[in-house]
Structures are given as structure tokens and as C-alpha cells.
């Protein structure tokens, strides 16, 4: 509790009253007294995460969590041991990220009892959409009604204020007008959309409310807490309003609270920004987030396979620090959002980023833009399924499958905890009809399915969905059997042919040489002396002679002298 008190004093100084401090402490003490769940205290090679919506599959007259739980237990439980449930609360827009009530489960999805039932089969990651709340929430209604404790809950700014220094992740207006009960119009800070109103963390009343949400998620069994858009939490006009010192202190406060209440809970920050800013949320390695999203990985893997060249991916991978066992990366290729371009800045020249964007757009990908401080716009993310991002329209399904499995073999071999999006393991293609219906680009990779349709596709062994599902599930299960893929095990990147991405992983008495042919041509690589066993195909190789790799072929070679 001492660390929590110190952080509260550092953030709020005299603005936090003794009564408010006592309220926070009593909430934490009570939550701690009710904790019964024992959490895993560290990660290992067994940990692979499934990212999915709670309403991903539908059956008539059935809460979608019942359907998801059944599908998971029958088809996915031997593949994944942790499920990231995207926001399952009542919401007004953005597929759940405009939360109306943090403490409730969307009735269409089910109830907290249904969350608990899924939790019996797997550990869970909850989304904590802590930067903003829906314009349809009770919190905003109370603010507009001028209720006392809500008077400073949101950030009101005169519209003539110079906000040109503020980092903008979108092209939508930063301020949105709202009419108060007394008919006064206030312009409130809305970083992402008019329906997502930023909370004012400078007000201790907001902090008390947010801590209440965090503690509720812990009591409901969350093993991982994902802090959505966390880089924007603290605002100071005249600054960039991103990654400010008090934002980092707030993340440290949440880490201290979960350490006190539910040891083993992982705080993971979602900051889709350049790498150096992203890893700043590790703090000193012990006091802030245990995991950060590895945002450069998806576009760099895509860039490498798109160009058949490992140079940028190889150089970046060689610079990574695996964390020394106290922190690690949350690795992914696809998610409910698009493929971010910002993390490439500082790694690739802008001309290469723009070239990649143009090439993908010509093959059907959609592009979302951000507004720069000089009034110009830049590509912010590519909206596309990872299957269609990797391939061209005219490619055969055999080629699609080869490239797709190659990309995921890289993901699964990389230091950190890997996560696979539900659309990826289902082999999904771009959902343009969904974009038309939803009116936004991200819907291209957020399709929801009647359960019968998915089951029928998976039962057709010749379909791309079934082939992806079978081969990727098998690859994940093999990955979970390799001690050298422990998230903390070091990686040694090799300097060989540019068409080849190669590295060693060593840990727990095992050494793996991971080889990936990124190109459409046959390449050979020098295989050092020794005996090798491919843990994917179970083939044996003898070193001392070049090894040939077919187009897009990959090996995880266990090395034995």
C-alpha cells in the first residue's frame, strides 16, 4: 500500500483529499479480501493468446458467450491457453470501444456468469478502455446535468484555444460541442471520435471511478488487463498530450494496485506509436507495464514478405532487448484494428512506407489517415485482413496459405507472448460488405459469423478456412512444446542472404535455428556443423552443407552437436 500512496501523492499532490485517499484505500483493501483466484506468476512457452470478440459467433436465442465458449472448448482449447475478449460491455459505437457502462456485460453477449464460465476453460484478458467513455454513458449524462461530483469529469476547452501541438491519431475534430442542462455549450476533448469523450484524470473523482473499474475486473477474474489508448490519459495544453510523465505515473499506479490485490495480473499497454515510445511503458522493468504490444512486428513482417527481403526486419529484430525476465512483448500480426504505420517511422524511410501503402491499396486494402500538426495527413493504418495483406488478388489459395503460415511461423518463434486474431485462424478475407454497413474501414477485418456457416466451412477440408485452421492450429501446438520459445529466451539474429530471415532461440536446454525463406525463389543457406531435427516436419538434417528452402518455406531446427 505504501507504493500506491506514494504514487497518488506524486500525481495529485494537494488536490487529493484525505477522504478521497481513504476511499481509494478502502476499495483496494476490500477487493484484496475478496480475491480467491490464484494467477500464474510468470509467462512461458505455453502461453499463446486468442484475440476475439465475445459476439464473434451467433446462434438463435443464445447469448453469444455461450456459443463462443462451446466453440472454444471444442476447437481451440488445445491451441490457446488465454483469450483476449475485446470489449464486451454495453457500447454505442466502434465495436465496443465506446463503452456505456464499464461494470456491465452487454446483454446480447451474456452476463458475468457467462464470463466466469469461459474463465473455467481458459485465462482471460479484459479490455480496459480507460482513456474515454461513450457520449451515451451515465457519467457524461451526470456531467451535462451539472451533478457536483461530475463537474470536472471531462475536459472542457474554449474552441478558440490553440491546440496545434496536440498529437492527433485521427482526422476528426479534437473538440466536440455538448449542451449542458443550463443550455450552456461546452466543447469537450474527444481524441478519437465525437462518441468517445476523454476522461479528465486530473480530477480525483475520475481516478476513484477508474480504480473502481480496475478492481471490478480483478474480482471478475481478469488475468491480463489491456489498457486501451493509454498514452493519451493525461492532458496539458501546450504539450503533445501523449506519453506525458503523469500518464506513466498512472500506469505505474495501476500496476501497483494489481500487485497489491491480485499478484500475477499482467498490465499490458496499447500504444500504437514508434518503438522507443512504446517500450517506455516498461518503466524501469519492474514498476510499470509487464507487456507492451509489439507494434512494429506486423508491418515489418508484411514489408519483408512483400519485398522478399529481410533487411529491415532483421536489423530491427537484432536491436531488441528480450527484457531480462521482468517484462516481455505481446506479439501479434493482426488484430481488431488495422496494421499501424506509425511504428514503422524511424525504422523505414517514409518513401518505403508510402510505397508499401500504395501497393497494398492497389490490391484492395483500405487506408486510414491521421492529421499532422502542420495540417497535412499521413497514412495511420492499413485496414485489411492479414491474409489479403500478404497476397495479391490473383494468387492461388496454395500461395496464400504458404505466405500466411510463413508469417505466423515468424510470429510464433519471436521472443515474447504471441497472440493470434480470430479472423486469422479462420483464414478470413476482406469484408467489404461489413465496411459498407458499418461506415468505417476497420470493419473490413471484424466480420461476425453465424456458427453454422463457420462450422460448415471448417468441415470442408478443401476450403482455405479449413486449411488455415488446421495448419495454423498444428503450428501453434508445436510451438507450445518448445522450451527455446520461452518468451524470455534470447534471440540471436543471423546475417545471411537478404531473402532469408534467420535467428537462434536458446532456452531451457534447447537450441532452435529458425529459418524463413521470404521470397518466391529457392534459396540456400549455410547449415553449421551438427545434427538438426525440424520440430515442424520431423525431418532430420546434417550440417556442414547448404540447406535449400523452397519458396516461402520455413524450418524450426532443433540443434544437437
**Residue 124 and residue 129: Cα distance in Å, rounded?**
16
Distance between alpha carbon 377 and the CA centroid of its chain, in Å?
A: 24
Residues in the chain: 561
Cβ proximity of 10 and 263 under 8 Å: no
Bridge partners for 540 per DSSP:
533
Return the half-sphere exposure (C-beta side, CA atoms, 13 A cut-off) of residue 271: 28
Cα→Cα distances 163→159, 189, 245, Å: 9, 11, 19
User: 3-state secondary structure string, 52-91?
Assistant: ECCCCEECCCCCHHHHHHHHHHHHHCCCCCEEEECCCCCE
**Candidate list 94, 228, 388, 488, residue with the active-site label:** 228
Cβ proximity of 500 and 394 under 8 Å: no
Cβ proximity of 505 and 491 under 8 Å: yes
Strands (E), 403-509: 417-421, 449-450, 491-493, 500-507
Give catalytic status of residue 203 as yes or no.
no
Among candidates 262, 316, 265, 315, which has minimal Cα distance to 289?
Answer: 265
Cβ proximity of 425 and 467 under 8 Å: no
In degrees rounded to 5, what are phi and psi of residue 285? Answer: 95, -10
Burial of residue 54 (CB within 10 Å: 0-12, 13-18, 19+) is buried
**Residue 135 and residue 178: Cα distance in Å, rounded?**
9
What amino acid positions are annotated as catalytic residues?
228
Amino acid at each position: 500500500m505504501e507504493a500506491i500512496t506514494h504514487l497518488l501523492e506524486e500525481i495529485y499532490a494537494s488536490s487529493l483529499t484525505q477522504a478521497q485517499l481513504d476511499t481509494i484505500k478502502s476499495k483496494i483493501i476490500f477487493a484484496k479480501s475478496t480475491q480467491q483466484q490464484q494467477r500464474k506468476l510468470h509467462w512461458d512457452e505455453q502461453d499463446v493468446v486468442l484475440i476475439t470478440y465475445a459476439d464473434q459467433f451467433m446462434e438463435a436465442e443464445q447469448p453469444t458467450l455461450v456459443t463462443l465458449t462451446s466453440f472454444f472448448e471444442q476447437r481451440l482449447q488445445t491451441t490457446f491457453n488465454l483469450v483476449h475478449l475485446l470489449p464486451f460491455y454495453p457500447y454505442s459505437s466502434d465495436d465496443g470501444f465506446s463503452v456505456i457502462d464499464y461494470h456491465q456485460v452487454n446483454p446480447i453477449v451474456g452476463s458475468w456468469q457467462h464470463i466466469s464460465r469461459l474463465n473455467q476453460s481458459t485465462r482471460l484478458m479484459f479490455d480496459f478502455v480507460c482513456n474515454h467513455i461513450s457520449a451515451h454513458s451515465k457519467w457524461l449524462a451526470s456531467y451535462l446535468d451539472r451533478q457536483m461530483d461530475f463537474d470536472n469529469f471531462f475536459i472542457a476547452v474554449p474552441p478558440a484555444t490553440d491546440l496545434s501541438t496536440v498529437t492527433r491519431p485521427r482526422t476528426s475534430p479534437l473538440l466536440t460541442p455538448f449542451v449542458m442542462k443550463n443550455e450552456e455549450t461546452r466543447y469537450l476533448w474527444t481524441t478519437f471520435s465525437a462518441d468517445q469523450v476523454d476522461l479528465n484524470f486530473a480530477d480525483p473523482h475520475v481516478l476513484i471511478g477508474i480504480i473502481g473499474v480496475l478492481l471490478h475486473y480483478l474480482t471478475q477474474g481478469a488475468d491480463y488487463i489491456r489498457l486501451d489508448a493509454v498514452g493519451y490519459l493525461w492532458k496539458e495544453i501546450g504539450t503533445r498530450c501523449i506519453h506525458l510523465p503523469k500518464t506513466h505515473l498512472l500506469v505505474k499506479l495501476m500496476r501497483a494496485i494489481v500487485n497489491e490485490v491480485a499478484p500475477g495480473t499482467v498490465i499490458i499497454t496499447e500504444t500504437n506509436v514508434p518503438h522507443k515510445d512504446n517500450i517506455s511503458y516498461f518503466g524501469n522493468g519492474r514498476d510499470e507495464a509487464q507487456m507492451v504490444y509489439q507494434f512494429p512486428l506486423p508491418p515489418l513482417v508484411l514489408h519483408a514478405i512483400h519485398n522478399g527481403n529481410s533487411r529491415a526486419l532483421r536489423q530491427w529484430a537484432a536491436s531488441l532487448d528480450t527484457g531480462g525476465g521482468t517484462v516481455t512483448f505481446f506479439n501479434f500480426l493482426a488484430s481488431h484494428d488495422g496494421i499501424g504505420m506509425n511504428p514503422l517511422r524511424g525504422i523505414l524511410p517514409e518513401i518505403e512506407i508510402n510505397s508499401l501503402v500504395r501497393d497494398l491499396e492497389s490490391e484492395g486494402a483500405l487506408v486510414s489517415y491521421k492529421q499532422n500538426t502542420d495540417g497535412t495527413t499521413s497514412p495511420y493504418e492499413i485496414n485489411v485482413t492479414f491474409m489479403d495483406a500478404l497476397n495479391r488478388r490473383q494468387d492461388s489459395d496454395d500461395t496464400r496459405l504458404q505466405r500466411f503460415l510463413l508469417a505466423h511461423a515468424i510470429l510464433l518463434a519471436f521472443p515474447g507472448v504471441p497472440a493470434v486474431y480470430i479472423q486469422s485462424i479462420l483464414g478470413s478475407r476482406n469484408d467489404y460488405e461489413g465496411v459498407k454497413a458499418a461506415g468505417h474501414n476497420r470493419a473490413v477485418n471484424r466480420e461476425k459469423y453465424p456458427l453454422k456457416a463457420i462450422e460448415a466451412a471448417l468441415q470442408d477440408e478443401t476450403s482455405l478456412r479449413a486449411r488455415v485452421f488446421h495448419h495454423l492450429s498444428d503450428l501453434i501446438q508445436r510451438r507450445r512444446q518448445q522450451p527455446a520459445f520461452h518468451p524470455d529466451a534470447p534471440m540471436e539474429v543471423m546475417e545471411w542472404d537478404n531473402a532469408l530471415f534467420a535467428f537462434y532461440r536458446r532456452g531451457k536446454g534447447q537450441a532452435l535455428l529458425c529459418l524463413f525463406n521470404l521470397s518466391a525463389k529457392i534459396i540456400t543457406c549455410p547449415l553449421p556443423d551438427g545434427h538438426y531435427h525440424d520440430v515442424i516436419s520431423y525431418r532430420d538434417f546434417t550440417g556442414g552443407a547448404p540447406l535449400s528452402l523452397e519458396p516461402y518455406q520455413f524450418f524450426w531446427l532443433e540443434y544437437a552437436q
